[in-house]
Amino acid sequence: MKYLLLIFFTLTLLMHCAEPRPVYESFEEYPIYPYDDLGFTYTPEQTTFKFWSPNVSGAKLRIYASDDPALVPEKEIELEEVDNAWTAVIKENLLDRYYTFQVTDHDGNVLNECADPYARALGVNGNRSQVIDLKSTDPAGWGGDVRPKLSDAKDIVIYELHVRDLSLHPSAGIKQKGKFLGLTETGTLSPQGLSTGLDHIRELGVTHVHLLPSFDYMSVDESRLDEPQFNWGYDPANYNVPEGSYSTDPADGNVRVREFKQMVKTLHDHGLRVIMDVVYNHTGRTEDSKFEQLIPGYFYRFNEDGSYSNASGCGNEIASERPMVRKYIRESVEYWVNEYHVDGFRFDLMGIHDIASMNEISQSLHAIDNSIFIYGEGWTAGNSPLPDSLRALKANTPQLERIAAFSDDIRDGMKGSVFHHEEKGFVSGAKSTKESIKYGVVGATLHPQVNYDSVNYSNAPWANQPQQCINYASCHDNHTLWDRLEISNPGVSESRREEMHRLSLAIVLTSQGVAFLHAGTELLRSKGGEENSYKSSDEVNAIDWTRKSKYRVTHDYVQGLIAMRKAHRAFRLRTTEAIQTHLNFLDTDDDELLVAYEIKDVPNDNWKHIVVAYNGNGESKYLDLPAGSWQIVANGDTVDEGGIGRAVLRRVRVDNNSAIVLVKK
Ligand code: CA
């Protein structure tokens, strides 16, 4: 009997050892890892490593003393699967050690060694992850860091900025050129003695600085930062770590983490919130991306023929609808909020993501902080195998919870389609654009006086509430507003184009919804006519601060409009119903290029009756005013709440290509 038992136990043991790992036939069968500790968990006594990849036969962890690619590992450990995560616990102090993962597939193929998809720190170019003590990267006062006050999403004025553009121009007067720390310098001046950088942004009065991709991206080689290199950064490499080239030392993973936090802290201290431009819709690499090499197939969508689908136009698209991808994105944004105190997210090509994932992300972020702002591009750059009805496209915005979309309707209504460079828009005298402007005025919501059939792209309102609509004239994509107006208005004088430019920004800053400005547009920013400057030189992309004195009128005008918007609730109505109640378009039916409206009796606004008009005509027009005595507070080049000129009765002249705002006395 004893022998029989022994044989039985031995056989059981042998069978257990020889038991092959499960092979899953479809992604739906993959078991989920439900906990939030993927990546590493560091203490001085031990570090735990975990990653999820259910459909491979084995996985390895390698520990390195440095990020030097020539250096061999100090340690190589076979990972064990515990609760569906490949796991290793190393009872040593691994502080600042670098590490990688590598898997073997079911056919015995050893795939590429990769950084941890959940990496919190990285060496140069993100090839190796790093174990750091995140607590030790907190700048002074980090525990007391608070988000600047914001009472409502409608109060937001966004300033869209590339980290490098801010400081690279010789006129910036900023020492930490191209770095996160460049955004922390105060007292910086242009050669004409006008403030630049952080001081400039603060004085302009915007509420949020939206940073172009500042997570780790691929295209700038961090090993040769002494050479000029530029990229917008829409080629993600590591989603949970700041970009190395914007730090003062990309090799030491602690530095970029600390400097990013220092930037956020300083911006918060100056009353500015911080938005990250996030690009979860695709990865910079495809076949050899870390997701593909560590968790083959799972993170991407595929066409029926097995090829990568490509709604991003960048070679692949992420399958946000799969549970562990959805979880990855949610945990990533939560991490940026919790660890870095980020205040909002702009989702690149949000139309690739599924609606359910976006809503789960919104709920989760708003549970952390109710004032976090989320918006995205409600379109794609190509077709997706996931049906339109399931994706976060602009037309599906009503199904998105507290997530806003960019209004290309007003953008192109103002200045012409981005796809037809010579096309004019409302501000440059193109007829048939009036309803697109009115659509923007009401923040893409339902209003009885908008004729939706005549709006350029949308034949229905797509915003449930005005905070779901981002109104803008231009952004990093396509021509700058100033270049576009030059290209589409040949032979038109510079002063006339300045009028058109100011009218565009006046429309953005007086319309309901959320206002968005491309950094430098207040200085008539130019990229020398280049449209897609994603990898152009610093000379093309950097903000030229000498323009601040040259175009001082426009700068002061934008600053004045922002202040007026922030001071008057009438320009930031809270709900669709409030817009329907308080905002009434005036009859300008006999003029295709004159839009006028009144806003009346808005609670908590000392301006009880306001008239706003936009004249897209090349000549001045007269507008009949409601009864009473009216004071002009803004015209085509000046904003003055104290009043411009004498009071007017009955009718007012609206200059060519200009806006006017009047208040009843
Ligand atoms: Ca990088």
274 to 167, 207, 213, 316, 586: CA distances (angstroms): 18, 9, 12, 28, 38
Alpha-carbon distance of 636 to 311, in angstroms, equals 42
Identify the burial level of 43 via C-beta atoms within 10 angstroms of its C-beta, where 0-12 means exposed, 13-18 middle and 19 or more buried.
exposed
DSSP strands (E only) in 111-156: 129-130
Distance 381 CA to ligand 1 centre (A): 24
Task: Report helix angle 253-269 to 323-340, nearest 10.
Answer: 60
Kindly list the catalytic residues: 348, 377
Would you state the pLDDT for residue 151?
Answer: 84
For residues 294-318, average pLDDT: 98
Residue 402 in this model has a pLDDT that exceeds 60: yes
Radius of gyration (Cα) for the chain, nearest Å?
A: 27
Please state the length of the chain. Answer: 665
C-alpha of residue 271 to centroid of ligand 1, in Å: 29
Q: How far apart are the CA of 243 and the centre of ligand 1, in A?
A: 5
Q: Among 14-23, 318-327, 593-602, whose mean pLDDT is lowest?
A: 14-23
| Span 356-391, pLDDT tens digits | 999 999 999 999 999 999 999 999 999 999 999 999
Grade residue 153 by pLDDT with cuts at 50, 70 and 90.
confident
- Extract the tokens encoding 358: 């976006």
**pLDDT score of 447:** 98
Residue 476, SS3?
coil
Output the CA 216–ligand 1 centroid distance in Å: 4
Query: Ligand 1 centroid to 278 CA: how many Å?
Result: 14
> 257 alpha carbon to ligand 1 midpoint, in Å?
13
**What's CA 270's distance to the chain center, in Å?**
20
- Long-range Cβ pairs for the range 27-32 (8 Å, 24+): 27/297, 27/298, 27/322, 30/54, 30/55, 30/298, 30/324, 31/84, 32/84, 32/323, 32/324, 32/327
Which residue has 């009503």 as its token pair?
398
Asked if 415 and 473 count as a contact pair (C-beta separation under 8 A), the reply is: yes
Q: In angstroms, what is the span from residue 233 Cα to ligand 1's centroid?
A: 8
Query: Which helix (H) or strand (E) segment is 573 a member of?
Result: none
Of 438, 451, 391, which Cα lies nearest the Cα of 410? 438
The pLDDT of residue 7: 54
What single DSSP character describes residue 361? H
Read off the pLDDT of residues 16-37 as tens digits, 9 standing for 90 and up: 454 678 999 999 999 999 999 9
**CA 277, CA 283: separation in Å to the nearest integer?**
14
Enclosing H/E stretch for 258: helix 253-269
- Confidence band for 3, pLDDT divided at 50, 70 and 90: low
At residue 14, does pLDDT exceed 50? no
Tell me which long-range contacts 524-529 makes (C-beta under 8 A, separation of at least 24): 524/481, 524/482, 524/498, 524/551, 524/554, 525/480, 525/481, 525/482, 526/480, 526/482, 526/483, 527/479, 527/480, 527/483, 528/483, 529/479, 529/483, 529/486, 529/487
How close is the Cα of 100 to the center of ligand 1, in Å?
A: 17
Distance (Å, whole) CA 238 – CA 278: 11
Instruction: Kindly list the protein residues that place their beta carbon closer than 5 angstroms to ligand 1, a single-atom ion.
Output: 216, 244
What's the gap in Å between 250 CA and the centre of ligand 1? 8
- How many angstroms separate the alpha carbon of residue 652 from the centre of ligand 1? 55
In this structure, the number of other CB atoms found within 10 A of the CB of residue 442 comes to 26
Residue type, 163: V
Under a CB-based contact definition with an 8 Å cutoff, are residues 405 and 376 in contact?
Answer: yes
* Gap between the Cα atoms of 583 and 467, Å rounded: 16
Phi, psi values for residue 472, rounded to 5°:
-155, 160
Place of tokens 């997210």: 345
CA 350 – ligand 1 centroid, Å: 22
pLDDT tens-place string over residues 61-93: 999 999 999 999 999 999 999 999 999 999 999
Task: Say which residue the tokens 């989603």 belong to.
Answer: 239
Strand order in the sheet with 658-664: 583-585, 594-600, 609-615, 658-664, 621-634, 639-654
Residue type for position 160:
E
pLDDT given for residue 21 in this prediction: 85
For residue 5, report the distance from its CA to the centre of ligand 1, in Å: 59
Instruction: Tell me, in angstroms, the distance from the centre of ligand 1 to residue 620's CA.
Output: 52
Ligand 1 midpoint to CA 285 (Å)? 13
Look over the chain and give the mean of its residue pLDDT values, rounded to a whole number.
Answer: 96
The predicted pLDDT at position 19 comes to 63
Cα 237 to middle of ligand 1, angstroms: 7
337 alpha carbon to ligand 1 midpoint, in Å? Answer: 21
Instruction: Give me the pLDDT at residue 4, please.
Output: 53
Q: How far is CA 326 from CA 82, 287, 296, 308, 357, in A?
A: 22, 21, 16, 19, 6
Instruction: Quote the CA–CA distance of 662 and 595 in Å, as a whole number.
Output: 14
Ligand 1 geometric centre to CA of 219 (Å): 7
Contact predicate 639/564, CB 8 Å: yes
5 pLDDT more than 90: no
Neighbours of 12 (CB within 10 A): 10
pLDDT at 13 over 50: no
Tokens read off for 495: 């002063």
Residue 181's SS3 state is: helix
d(CA 374, CA 502): 28
Question: What pLDDT is attached to residue 20?
Answer: 75
Q: What is the mean pLDDT of residues 111-130?
A: 97
If you measure from the C-alpha of residue 448 to the centroid of ligand 1, how many angstroms do you get, rounded to a whole number?
49
**Is residue 6's pLDDT more than 90?**
no
Q: How far is residue 43 CA from its own chain's centroid?
A: 34
* Cα(291)–Cα(310) distance, integer angstroms: 16
pLDDT exceeds 90 at position 487? yes
Ligand 1 mean position to 256 CA, how many Å? 11
User: For 298-309, what is the mean pLDDT?
Assistant: 98
Q: Are strands 594-600 and 404-406 parallel, antiparallel or unpaired?
A: unpaired
- In Å, how far are 362, 370, 404 from 345, measured between CA atoms? 10, 13, 10
- Neighbouring CB atoms inside 10 A of 9's CB total 10
Separation of CA 128 and ligand 1 centre (Å): 12
